[in-house]
Structure 1
Amino acid sequence: MDYVQGFKEIMEVSGHLALATSADNKPNVRVMSHFYDADQGIVYVSTFKQSPKTAEFAANDKIAFTTLPEAATGRLVRVTDATVKKSEHSVYDLEAGFTKNNPSFAFTLKEAGPMFEVYEFHFNEAIVTMGHMQMETITL
């Protein structure tokens, strides 16, 4: 089983992930829209400026996330050692990526685009689950 190829396939179609952050020793998990830029090896998320999430990012840049399991196969990607940083890109720069797997984001962007900031998730390893008891850690 090719777990690197599985990683690429899962990240290509995944539109949402569960993001774990922690600030002041208080963990928090939320579901977010995202997209993966395979050429750069970066996950991008957008969030409202000055949201509680941005304060958590500023307090602790260490994060973890998992894609939501695919309904038919249960395949997912989990990353336990990532960092987050504010991107130099705007949501408009990355519109095609954000709307590819989440077409409804186009409406959100039209209505509230200037209120968004973009953040980048950087990581070197991922745990790829291809099915029941079929998982492997890969280096990217």
Structure 2
Amino acid sequence: MDFVKEFNCIMEEQKEIALATCKGGNPNVRIVNFCYNNTSKGVIYFSTFGDNQKVEEFEINPTVAFTTVPHEGNSHVRIKKGTVQKSNYTVYDLKDEFIKKIPDYAMTIEQVGEYLVLFEVHFQEADVTIDLENSSSITL
């Protein structure tokens, strides 16, 4: 099984991640929309309001973990160690990527885009699970 190919399919199809941060030894997880372009291997993008609690947590500890959220089946990607940073891009730069994946995001960008800050999570390794019998770790 080609787990890199499966990784790319999951990252293209799934729309949400459960993003975990840690501040002062206290873990915190939330669901966020994301986009991934397989030409920028090992980087996902998501936006959030600049005054959001997670932004404060990123500044204190930029190490994060996440898993994609499957809405059918069990296929998912899990990142155990990623680094989050504010992107040099804006949500407007990646507007087409977000809307392609999440059509309703067009309205979000139109209504509150100027208040959204784009973040990147960089990672080198991923655990790819297809089902109960097929999983593997890959390096990007």
Q: What TM-score, normalized to structure 1?
A: 0.96
Aligned to 2:128: 128
Q: Does 1:59 align with 2:64?
A: no
Q: Distance in 1 between matches of 2:109 and 2:83?
A: 25
The 3-state SS of whatever aligns with 1:131 is coil
The root-mean-square deviation of aligned C-alpha atoms, in Å, is 0.9
The 3-state SS of whatever aligns with 1:126 is strand
Once the two structures are superposed, the pairs formed by residues 24-103 of structure 1 within 5 Å of their partners are: 24-41=24-41, 42-71=43-72, 73-103=73-103
Tell me which stretches of 4 or more aligned residues in structure 1 moved more than 6 Å. none
Question: Percent identity over the alignment?
Answer: 40
Task: Please give the per-residue CA displacement for 1:51-88, whole angstroms capped at 9, x wherever unaligned.
Answer: 111000101000000001240x3100000011000001
Aligned to 1:23: 23
Q: What TM-score, normalized to structure 2?
A: 0.96
- AA of the residue aligned to 1:5: K
- AA of the residue aligned to 2:122: H
- AA of the residue aligned to 1:6: E
Structure 1 regions of 5+ residues with no counterpart?
Answer: none
Aligned to 1:139: 139
Q: 1:133: how far off?
A: 3.0
Q: Distance in 1 between matches of 2:3 and 2:71?
A: 15
Q: Distance in 2 between matches of 1:30 and 1:70?
A: 16
Q: Distance in 1 between matches of 2:117 and 2:100?
A: 18
8 Å contact from structure 1 (residues 70, 76) kept in 2: no
Q: Distance in 2 between matches of 1:124 and 1:34?
A: 17
